[in-house]
């Protein structure tokens, strides 16, 4: 029975913290293979890419879109595509800590459990003072068509390759050059890659919520979000659905063409640091 006209809706169910467990594969690019709560797996896995194909990648080879979270450093687009370290074996240093080299740069990641059940990823970069970097935590999420993305209202948005390859459309959230970036919905044949000027995003999918925040700890540079909203619009000839929600140290995707104001820079001592925090909440009834 529907509510009577003018009746007030009942209170929304309370959201309770959920513990997150993370799995990684240091041998194959430090890739995050799982980000799971008791109620769901948050990371998408590409059904078109078998584990063997991802494991067979060698440094410098073409990007394999296997899903999960790939570490894209010291760039995202350009040569090599998606950076250098996603295809290199990482060195385990201690439980939760691993490192990898990209030329003169050393990237170290330390994963920790947060007191409220979330996951913290702390990144430290060592190298030549003033060196320029971009770093995207390239998270592909398993989301339903009903999922919503929450970003502070009015955040500046730059849509890449819109209205055509190489073009830029500057707008504000949630506009994505003719599509709403905050809504997914069924496949509509569109694909958008957008840079959003924010240091936080929340994903609401049914009773579940995943919140990400990131901050600069050392060095200099802006923080952004890369949003990849592909609802069957890419690649040409064999499109599929994938959604990337990617914290970014920087405000560009190609290190070779980025302005000085768009990149992260190591401090005079040759260090840079930033941190991503991930927390899950749910309205699911607990047993």
Mean pLDDT of 262-279: 98
Residue 138 CA to its chain's centroid (Å): 4
Report the 10 Å Cβ neighbour count for 170.
10
Q: Give start and end residues of each alpha helix (H) in the chain.
A: 51-55
Mean pLDDT of 41-54: 94
In this predicted structure, the answer to whether residue 63 has a pLDDT above a threshold of 50 is yes
Burial of 190 (0-12, 13-18, 19+ CB in 10 A): middle
For the stretch 66-124, pLDDT in tens is 999 999 999 999 989 999 999 999 999 999 999 999 999 999 999 999 999 999 999 99
Rounded CA separation 135/157 (Å): 19
Rounded CA separation 135/226 (Å): 11
pLDDT for res 209: 98
In this predicted structure, the answer to whether residue 3 has a pLDDT above a threshold of 50 is no
pLDDT for res 51: 83
Measured torsion, CA atoms of residues 79, 83, 88, 89, in degrees rounded to the nearest 10: 180
Rounded CA separation 83/224 (Å): 17
Mean pLDDT of the chain: 94
Q: Which two tokens stand for residue 57?
A: 């990648």
Rounded CA separation 249/221 (Å): 7
Mean pLDDT of 114-140: 98
Q: How confident is the model at residue 287 (pLDDT cuts 50, 70, 90)?
A: low
pLDDT for res 8: 53
In this predicted structure, the answer to whether residue 199 has a pLDDT above a threshold of 80 is yes
**Is-cis flag, bond preceding 5, omega within 30?**
no
Domains parsed from the chain with CATH numbers: 16-282 (2.70.98.10)
pLDDT for res 11: 59
Percent of the chain with pLDDT over 70: 95
What is the number of alpha carbons within 13 Å of residue 170 lying toward its C-beta? 2
Q: How confident is the model at residue 14 (pLDDT cuts 50, 70, 90)?
A: confident
In this predicted structure, the answer to whether residue 2 has a pLDDT above a threshold of 90 is no
Q: Which two tokens stand for residue 277?
A: 């925090």
Please give the model's pTM, rounded to 2 decimal places.
0.94
Rounded (to 5) percent helix, strand, coil in the chain: 5, 50, 45
For the stretch 152-180, pLDDT in tens is 999 999 999 999 999 999 999 999 999 99
* Closest listed residue to residue 205, CA positions, set 150, 140, 244: 150
Q: How confident is the model at residue 1 (pLDDT cuts 50, 70, 90)?
A: very low
In this predicted structure, the answer to whether residue 4 has a pLDDT above a threshold of 80 is no
Q: How confident is the model at residue 193 (pLDDT cuts 50, 70, 90)?
A: very high
């Amino acid at each position: 029975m529907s509510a009577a006209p003018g009746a007030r809706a009942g209170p929304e169910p309370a959201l309770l913290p959920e513990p997150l467990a993370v799995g990684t594969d240091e041998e194959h690019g430090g890739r995050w293979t799982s980000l799971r709560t008791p109620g769901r797996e948050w990371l998408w896995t590409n059904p078109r890419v078998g584990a063997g194909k991802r494991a067979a990648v060698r440094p410098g080879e073409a990007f394999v879109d296997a899903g999960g979270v790939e570490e894209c450093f010291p760039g995202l687009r350009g040569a090599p595509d998606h950076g250098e370290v996603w295809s290199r074996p990482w060195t385990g240093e201690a439980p939760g800590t691993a490192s990898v080299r990209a030329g003169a740069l050393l990237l170290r990641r330390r994963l920790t459990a947060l007191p409220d059940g979330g996951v913290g990823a702390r990144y430290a970069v060592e190298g030549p003072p003033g060196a320029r970097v971009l770093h995207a935590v390239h998270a592909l999420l398993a989301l339903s068509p009903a999922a919503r993305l929450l970003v502070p209202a009015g955040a500046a948005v730059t849509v890449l390759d819109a209205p055509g390859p190489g073009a830029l459309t500057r707008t504000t959230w949630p506009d994505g050059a003719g599509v709403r970036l905050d809504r997914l919905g069924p496949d509509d044949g569109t694909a958008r890659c957008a840079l959003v000027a924010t240091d936080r995003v929340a994903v609401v999918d049914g009773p579940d919520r995943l919140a990400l925040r990131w901050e600069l700890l050392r060095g200099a540079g802006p923080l952004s979000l890369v949003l990849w909203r592909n609802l069957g619009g890419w690649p040409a000839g064999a499109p599929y659905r994938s959604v990337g929600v990617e914290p970014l140290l920087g405000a560009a995707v190609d290190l070779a063409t980025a302005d000085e104001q768009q990149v992260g820079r190591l401090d005079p001592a040759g260090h840079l640091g930033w941190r991503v925090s991930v927390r899950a909440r749910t309205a699911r009834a607990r047993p």
